Amino acid sequence: MAGTFKITFFPENKSGEISEGETVLEAAGRLGVELNHECGGVASCSTCRVRIGSGGAPALSEMDVDEKEVLDREQLDGDYRLACQTRVKGDVTVTIPPPVKPLADQAIPPSR
């Protein structure tokens, strides 16, 4: 039987249950927490990034290659995860940072 855990989203300070196997993005949607997800949850845009608080890495699923590549490309530190790829296995808090543009929309400065 799958477990359920407590997840709290900041800055809204909204808590609810998250089922084992459910992604952080899915839980946000179900709890009415606004969280961007421009690519639809396929680990390519990084707009669903969240900063992990209490609970930390032991409460989360392992990071796969696609997620790691996106986080590395964005130069995000180890506290960040993609909500669309992250499943929980313990109580956790997450902070939703201010919105960012999807990678495809970010201007690349001309080289000289």
Footprint of ligand FES on this chain (CB under 6 A)? 37-39, 41, 43-48, 82, 84
Nearer to ligand FES, 66 or 112 (CB): 66
Rounded to the nearest whole angstrom, what is the least distance from the CB of residue 100 to ligand FES in the complex?
A: 11
Nearer to ligand FES, 39 or 59 (CB): 39
Tell me if 79 sits within 8 A of 52, measured CB to CB.
yes
Rounded to the nearest whole angstrom, what is the least distance from the CB of residue 110 to ligand FES in the complex?
A: 27
Amino acid letter, 32:
G
Nearer to ligand FES, 27 or 45 (CB): 45
Please give the Cα distance from 82 to 64 (Å, whole number). 11
Nearer to ligand FES, 8 or 46 (CB): 46
Residue with tokens 């970010």: 106
Rounded to the nearest whole angstrom, what is the least distance from the CB of residue 84 to ligand FES in the complex?
A: 3
| Nearest of 73, 80, 74, 84 to residue 97 by alpha carbon | 80
- 38: Cβ contacts below 8 Å, ≥ 6 apart: 45, 47, 102
Rounded to the nearest whole angstrom, what is the least distance from the CB of residue 89 to ligand FES in the complex?
A: 19
